[in-house]
Chain A
Amino acid sequence: MTDRKNYMYKSWWKITCILLLVFTFSFGLLVKIPDLPALEQTSRNLFFHVAMWMAMMTLFTISVINAVRYLRTFNLKYDIYARQFAAIGILFGILGYSTGAIWMTYTWADPNNPTFQSFQALAREPKLIGAAIALLIYFAYMVLRDSINDLDKRARISAVYNIFAYAMLFPTIWIIPRLLPSLHPGQEGNPALNFKDVTPALRLVELPAFIGWTLLGVWIATVRIRINLLKEKKMAQ
Chain B
Amino acid sequence: MKFINLKRIITVVFLLCMAMVTNAQDTAKPNSDFMRSNGRSYVVIAVMLTILTGLVLYLIRLDRKLSKLEKD
Contact = CB atoms under 8 A, between A and B. Distances in A.
Interface in A12-71: 25, 29, 39-42, 44-45, 48-49, 52
A42 B45 CA distance: 9
B3 A91 contact: no
Contacts of B10: none
A107 B1 CA distance: 40
B69 interface: yes
A44 B44 contact: yes
B54 A106 contact: no
A220 B62 CA distance: 10
Interface of A: 25, 29, 39-42, 44-45, 48-49, 52, 91, 94-95, 97-99, 101-107, 109, 111-112, 119, 122, 132, 142-143, 146, 216, 220, 223-224, 227, 231
> Nearest 10 CB-CB pairs, A to B?
A101-B19, A41-B41, A40-B39, A41-B39, A105-B22, A111-B26, A98-B15, A99-B47, A101-B18, A146-B3
Interface of B: 1-4, 12, 15-16, 18-20, 22-23, 25-26, 28-30, 35-36, 38-41, 43-44, 46-48, 50-51, 54-55, 58-59, 62, 65-66, 69
Given A101-B19, A104-B19, 11 more contacts: A40-B39, A40-B41, A41-B44, A95-B50, A97-B15, A102-B18, A102-B47, A106-B36, A220-B55, A220-B59, A220-B62
